[in-house]
Amino acid sequence: MNATIDAQTLFNQLHERLALRWLAGQQGSQRTLEAVETLARRPSLAGYLNIIYPNKVQILGTEELNWLDSLDSRLRWETIERVMQYGPLALVISKDQPCPEDLREAAEESRTPLWSSPNRGHELLNLLQYHLARVLAPRITLHGVFMEVYSIGVLITGESGSGKSELALELVTRGHRLVADDAPEFTQIAPDVLDGTCPELLQDLLELRGLGVLNIREMFGDTAVKRNKYLRLIIHLSRPNAEMPADGDGMIRLTGDLGVRRVLDLDVPLITLPVMPGRNLAVLAEAAARTHILRAKGLDPAVAFLARHSQFLEQGLP
């Protein structure tokens, strides 16, 4: 489903930060803005008053109000009526400027939310654009445990019963932090950034078979949990089966079982770890995170070994 936000919710979220006041059109508080593909083009989510490509939130600064004052009475009323007909989510007057009475009346009649703020126009524009873009950004819920391991966001996935939660608990005891268990939500807040968060219902909780639901914050303290983290790596726990590569496959032995997983519009690096008796998955997960960090810096041990091996062969050394 597409993300949505209504005028009342937007006002509630920003009224303290922007000191918003509701001037007129409160009956339009349920007017809704939906995240659809066309929002990535014109019109923009927020911008200065524009009657050619009207923005979803129209900001009226000093220049816009002066421009309205420069119109004759008939053209002024036609312009205001046209603005209201476009159905913006809200109109915002900057710097607490006096609201023209005809604008207030038009907003009241058309049930268009009309707000005022002491902030300057560019401040309103920057914050509204950022806030709306984040709220309406593409999002997805994935099954797994989302952790912060060595400062990077790591999603642990696998079949039910593969040991995801047990691994997460072991990582927490080793000083790493839990973001979300079972159903982390990921939002694409930038072309190359996926921000992972925890649903409010599951905040601080980790469920383990045999123990039930654990409150990680109460058990290990505030430093054991984190509110959000950017997704950088996926570790998939897999039970060995006949279809898996044999243990002697040289390339996988050297490079690891690497791949990618498509999440929204991004390819996220994926490492598959076989789950077998006697393996310390917490140590392996830490090593996977450290190796990913090295690869991000351009240091790949497998590539370096293969280059060294080729050099030895060229020199005729054993």
Active site residues: 143, 164, 182, 253
Distance CA 183, CA 198 (A): 7
Start-to-end CA span in the chain (Å): 61
Tokens of 311: 């050099």
Q: Are 216 and 224 in contact (CB under 8 A)?
A: yes
Instruction: Give the Cα separation of 4 and 58 in Å (integer).
Output: 18
Phi, psi of 5 (to 5 degrees): -150, 140
Cα 264 from Cα 37, distance rounded (Å): 14
Q: Which residues contact 128 (CB under 8 A, 6 or more apart)?
A: 14, 45, 46, 57, 59, 92
Q: What letter would DSSP give residue 199?
A: -
C-alpha to C-alpha distance for 43 and 57, rounded to whole angstroms: 10
CA angle, corner 118, sides to 113 and 121, nearest 5? 80
Report the greatest alpha carbon distance in the chain.
Answer: 93
Counting runs of H as helices and runs of E as strands, what totals does the chain give? Answer: 10, 18
| Structure-block tokens of residue 238 | 């897999």
The first and second tokens of residue 135, run together, are 């709220």
Q: Does residue 237 contact residue 162 with C-beta atoms inside 8 Å?
A: yes
